[in-house]
Amino acid sequence: MKYPLIDRDHSTLAFNERVLSWARRADVPVLERLRYLCIVSSNLDEFFEVRMALHLRAMQDRHRHAGFTRQTYQAISKQAHELVHSQYEVYNNQLIPALAKAGIRIVSHADRNVEQHRWVKRYFDQEVKPLLIPVGLDPAHPFPQVANKSLNFIVRLSGPDAFGRDNEIAIVKVPRVLPRLIRMPERVAGTQTLVVSLSSMIRAHLKDLFPGRKVGEFSQFRLTRDSDLLVDEEEAVNLRKALRQGLAQRHYGRAVRLEVSSGCDEFLSSFLLNQFELPEQALYRVHGPVNLVRLNQLIDLVDQPALLFPAYRASYPTQLAKGQSIFERLQQGDVLLHHPFESFDGVLDFLREAVQDPDVLAIKQTIYRTGANSELMDLLREGVRRGKEVTAVVELKARFDEEANIGSAEQLESIGAQVVYGVVGLKTHAKMLLVTRREGRRLRRYAHLSTGNYNSRTARTYTDIGHMTCDAEITRDIDQLFTHVASQNRLPALRRLWVAPFKLHDRLVDAIERVGLAAQAGQPARIVAKMNSLTDERLVQALIEANQRGAEIDLIVRGACILPAQVPGLTERIRVRSIIGRMLEHTRVFYFQVGPVTSLYLSSADWMNRNMVRRIEIAWPVKDAALRDRIMAECLGNYLADTQDAWVLQPDGRYKSLMATPATKAGHRRKVSAQANLMKQYAAT
């Protein structure tokens, strides 16, 4: 039987509403509040580029596609408009005053004094105007190509042009190389930190771009485009080259959203909507800069640590000792690394030792997101130079990291590494590093598995678990999976790993069903699972059925969750909570209790259909009792006890903050922050 579920896209927007709550919190330093506002804007950009693009495409193409209809587009648009309105309310009514109180002001044209006007004019003439080319529209000058998420101005002019014609519309494209915020020098700013926005500077001097014409109505505007890379993998002879060609077109995909100033003239907004073939719902009038993401630059312009979170310095992994051979340590037992509370240095040291050790013969690694200037990629290249057999499975289709990954792949290939790009039609999302070492007369494998990416930058802010082991069965399975991905031979039966798209989905459903059957038999039965998103209908239906058999289920889901929780007669034993904190929750942990038997798995996969059927993912068991207890305490129990950063899903589909919920007993509720507890536990001394 199928049960009614929560809409995925509504749930995604609700997650961003929870993130926005941090921008409202007076107990959070003001520059960090600004950062959360920017995060929401960045998330919304991606939402429009990917999800809203599907809704709009289905509506414009006049056919129903995978549940996307005119009605779903309108409903999602309504919620998105409300969220954007909330963003700008927070920006104008809370953050701008809070920044001003801290001596930081984004000075508008009307608020500048004479000396500041002179400075802005001089900066505009010297640094900005030379890079602007206004385009007057006529048959010989059609509407210019507008890149995805770029800043532009539309201007309505009066009076004839140089040739006596009345072409009244002009477009000014603003190059990305120009900073969106410029700090005034102390000699004109005085004791305050005064900043000028580029859009304000251009608005104030638009007339300088059109000498001899009268500037009438105008508005800044920003276009968001469908950014899905459409590459036919079955037809592509060389996927890397096909993707590189596709990247060149990404900035000019189908229009999805149009942002304009709140006071934009109806004639101009209608002109733009018509130009980009967008419906009225795609128009977003904003009271402020059209790109809040670029306000991140303000954080870099202001050197005031007191306006940021206190710096956190992660400890070196507690189960490792600097200077000790990690290979020797793993021969004694498995090692767990909890990022970002423990530093990523342990992973780099593991790879560094493998590169430098003359007894290491081969290194195999999956590359999904490593970031720019990656020390890890440097180490892999050094491994090749030292004669190691280096195999890199590079996922070229990691969304918005394609270009960086193509560059990494080409650098490795150029010096002789074996580079493969996974399996056609699937993304390789599993996080694996395998080292083969000669020890006497035998070869031994050592592995690092992770719930997150091999990215030392995000490892400072994303919560993830790394697991190092030389367990013969696990490392054998990993080696078999690497061979399968490279050779595309049939994957043999694995002993420990659950792998998508082959067995992971079925194994998870079976595990959930066993818990339900145990509950039905009157045995202890519980599921605790932590993940980023829960949108796979098959897994959701299995959870509901297990709940109806009597199983107790606690889910810690950061983002989208389509499972209705605590609904009488349906899911009264299912509790769903979302943790929004200083760090981005990214760990995937699955715990199953079937009578007296318990099992715990770590995974690279969220419970989403794409992870189960369109990606190569892994889940693996943690057998060491001490490590399992640690994971249960730090990643599950700790988060279930959170009363400060936790939001609980209500039967009506809305989330309620526990921080805003009154204590059930007399007195004050004790504030518990899971992340704060872990930061305190692992901070370097």
Q: pLDDT tens digits for 41-78?
A: 999 999 999 899 888 887 777 655 566 777 889 999 99
Q: Which of 27-36, 76-85, 460-469, 481-490 has the lowest mean pLDDT?
A: 481-490
Over 70: is that where the pLDDT of 101 sits? yes
Q: Please state, rounded to an integer, the average pLDDT across all residues of the chain.
A: 91
Q: pLDDT tens digits for 182-197?
A: 999 999 999 999 999 9
pLDDT on residue 237: 41
Using DSSP bridges, classify how beta strands 389-394 and 418-420 pair: parallel, antiparallel or unpaired. Answer: parallel
pLDDT band at 232 (very low <50, low <70, confident <90, very high): very low
Q: Average of pLDDT values for 550-559? A: 98
Residue with tokens 């073939």, as numbered in its chain: 277
Structure tokens at 436: 């083969």
Over 90: is that where the pLDDT of 172 sits? yes
Q: Average of pLDDT values for 304-332? A: 96
Q: Tell me if 306 sits within 8 A of 673, measured CB to CB.
A: no
Residues 6+ apart with CB under 8 A from 29: 306, 307, 308, 309
- 55, 338, 339, 429: which one is catalytic? 429
Q: What percentage of the chain carries pLDDT values higher than 70? A: 92
pLDDT band at 537 (very low <50, low <70, confident <90, very high): very high
Q: pLDDT tens digits for 564-585?
A: 999 999 999 999 999 999 999 9
pLDDT on residue 665: 55
Task: Give the span between the Cα atoms of 8 and 367, in whole angstroms.
Answer: 28
Nearest to 181 by CA among 160, 207, 199, 159: 199
pLDDT band at 668 (very low <50, low <70, confident <90, very high): low
Q: Average of pLDDT values for 339-347? A: 97
Over 70: is that where the pLDDT of 250 sits? no
Q: Which of 232-246, 286-300, 313-327, 340-354 has the lowest mean pLDDT?
A: 232-246
pLDDT band at 249 (very low <50, low <70, confident <90, very high): low
pLDDT on residue 135: 92
pLDDT on residue 233: 44
Q: CA-CA-CA-CA torsion for 533, 535, 541, 546, nearest 10 degrees?
A: 0
Element (H, E) at 394: strand 389-394
- What residues pair up with 157 in beta bridges, in sequence order? 215
Question: What domains can be seen in the chain, in order of their start residue?
Answer: 8-307 (3.30.1840.10), 326-493 (3.30.870.10), 500-682 (3.30.870.10)
pLDDT band at 602 (very low <50, low <70, confident <90, very high): very high
Kindly report the pTM of this predicted structure.
0.92
pLDDT band at 234 (very low <50, low <70, confident <90, very high): very low
pLDDT on residue 67: 67
Which regions of 471-511 does DSSP assign to beta strands (E)?
498-500
pLDDT on residue 416: 86
Q: What percentage of the chain carries pLDDT values higher than 90? A: 79
pLDDT band at 479 (very low <50, low <70, confident <90, very high): very high
Of residues 251 and 410, more confidence is placed in: 410
Task: Give the span between the Cα atoms of 337 and 326, in whole angstroms.
Answer: 13
Q: Average of pLDDT values for 410-417? A: 86
Over 70: is that where the pLDDT of 240 sits? no
Q: Tell me if 200 sits within 8 A of 261, measured CB to CB.
A: no
Known active-site residue 117: no
Of residues 655 and 405, more confidence is placed in: 655
Q: Tell me if 534 sits within 8 A of 559, measured CB to CB.
A: no
pLDDT band at 231 (very low <50, low <70, confident <90, very high): very low
Q: pLDDT tens digits for 634-654?
A: 999 999 999 999 999 999 999
**How long is the chain?**
685
pLDDT on residue 14: 97
Of residues 568 and 246, more confidence is placed in: 568
Of residues 504 and 395, more confidence is placed in: 504
pLDDT on residue 247: 53
Residues 6+ apart with CB under 8 A from 197: 106, 180, 181, 182, 289
| Rg from Cα positions in the chain | 27
Q: pLDDT tens digits for 198-218?
A: 999 999 999 999 998 999 999
